């Protein structure tokens, strides 16, 4: 692993160890109540500040539909200009209370993509011919098992499965992939933060596609503000363990702002806008910047009482 990557990972770990005690040492004024099964005590989401905190929890107790829009500005050999990749992740978050102590949180991720790709090489002019394709990417399934041990604790484990559902060879990796997923963090009235780690290995699929061994590590930290505003970040560190050192890591640093609100009689909505700069990126063609817009409408919970109570 490159030394620079170790430095960035140590930085993230140090940040986590610095802010994590905010959860366990929360003062009386910074604590909040939850119902058995982990459901928010606000019932029908009358308190938007409390709802905003739970919506930032990757395995939270609120039913919502995340649509995450990413504009990745890519550059590097063999492209001498920026080319934009667009990925919209449609991601319902569906928490189902199993007992008073355990939840099952379903998190399918359905990506719609528009990707640039190399169509061919003009030998005469010694130029690369670029084209673009769009459609459905590879679908990810994540059934998280989440305990309700402490109101401030965020924790969940799951197997994570990727299905080769891409409608074009340039939109997916052509492999069935399986691996572990773990999320750990804290939640208080004013802060929410943690780390969400996934790793996949390819099991089967298109033999013409290379084998897969890659990690996605999301580190997140939000400061909750009055009137359901928030500032913070939630970038995704990408590691391709099979790539050579100079192309192995994409490490972004980001900052954004968001708000949770209601429009008339409609369910609450959380929106956020974040800019990310790739402090460490592949030398070859890869991500350099990202603009992310997230839209999270809340939906009524279809399962409210513990199934096995």
198 located within any domain: yes
- Contact between residue 160 and residue 198 where contact means Cβ atoms under 8 Å apart: yes
Q: How distant, in Å, are the alpha carbons of 194, 226, 249 from that of 21? A: 11, 22, 29
Report how many domains make up the chain.
Answer: 1
Domain of residue 52, residue span: 3-63+88-227+237-245
> Tokens representing 212?
């897969």
Nearest to 110, CA basis, from 124, 93, 125: 93
Q: What is the pTM of this model?
A: 0.86
188 located within any domain: yes
CA distance linking residue 15 with residue 85, whole number of Å: 30
Maximum alpha-carbon separation in the chain:
73
CA distance linking residue 11 with residue 8, whole number of Å: 5
> Tokens representing 255?
């900052």
Q: Which residues pair with 104 in a beta bridge?
A: 96, 145
281 located within any domain: no
303 located within any domain: no
278 located within any domain: no
92 located within any domain: yes
Task: Tell me the pLDDT of the chain (309 aa) as tens digits.
Answer: 455 555 555 555 555 544 444 444 443 445 544 443 444 544 455 689 999 999 999 999 999 999 999 999 999 888 888 999 999 999 999 999 999 999 999 999 999 999 998 888 776 676 788 899 999 999 999 999 999 999 899 999 999 999 999 999 999 999 999 999 999 999 998 999 999 999 999 998 888 889 999 999 999 999 999 999 999 999 999 999 999 888 999 999 999 999 999 998 889 999 999 999 999 999 899 999 999 999 999 999 999 889 987
294 located within any domain: no
CA distance linking residue 173 with residue 165, whole number of Å: 9
Query: In Å, how far from its chain's centre is CA 247?
Result: 22
Q: Are strands 213-225 and 249-261 parallel, antiparallel or unpaired?
A: unpaired
99 located within any domain: yes
């Amino acid at each position: 692993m490159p030394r620079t990557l170790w430095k960035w990972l140590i930085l993230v770990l140090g940040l986590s160890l610095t802010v994590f005690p905010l959860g366990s040492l929360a003062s009386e004024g910074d604590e909040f109540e939850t119902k058995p099964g982990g459901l928010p005590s606000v019932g029908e989401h009358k308190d938007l500040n409390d709802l905003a905190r739970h919506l930032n929890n990757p395995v939270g107790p609120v039913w919502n539909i995340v649509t995450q829009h990413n504009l990745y500005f890519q550059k590097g050999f063999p492209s001498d200009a920026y080319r934009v990749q667009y990925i919209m992740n449609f991601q319902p978050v569906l928490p189902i209370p199993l007992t008073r102590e355990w939840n099952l949180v379903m998190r399918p991720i359905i990506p719609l993509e528009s990707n640039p790709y190399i169509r061919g090489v003009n030998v005469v002019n010694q130029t690369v011919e670029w084209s673009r394709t769009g459609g459905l990417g590879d679908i990810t399934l994540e059934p998280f098992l989440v305990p309700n041990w402490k109101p401030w604790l965020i924790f969940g484990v799951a197997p994570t499965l990727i299905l080769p559902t891409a409608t074009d060879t340039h939109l997916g990796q052509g492999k069935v992939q399986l691996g572990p997923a773990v999320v750990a963090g804290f939640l208080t009235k004013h802060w929410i933060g943690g780390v969400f780690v996934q790793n996949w290995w390819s099991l089967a699929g298109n033999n013409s596609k290379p084998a897969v061994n890659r990690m996605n590590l999301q580190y997140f930290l939000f400061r909750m503000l009055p009137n359901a505003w928030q500032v913070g970040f939630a970038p995704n560190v990408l590691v391709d363990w099979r790539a050579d050192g100079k192309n192995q890591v994409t490490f972004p640093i980001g900052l954004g702002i968001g708000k949770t609100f209601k429009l008339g009689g409609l369910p609450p909505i959380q929106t956020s806008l974040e800019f990310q700069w790739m402090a460490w990126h592949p030398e070859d063609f890869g991500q350099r910047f990202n603009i992310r817009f997230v839209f999270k409408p809340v939906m009524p919970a279809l399962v409210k009482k513990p199934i096995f109570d």
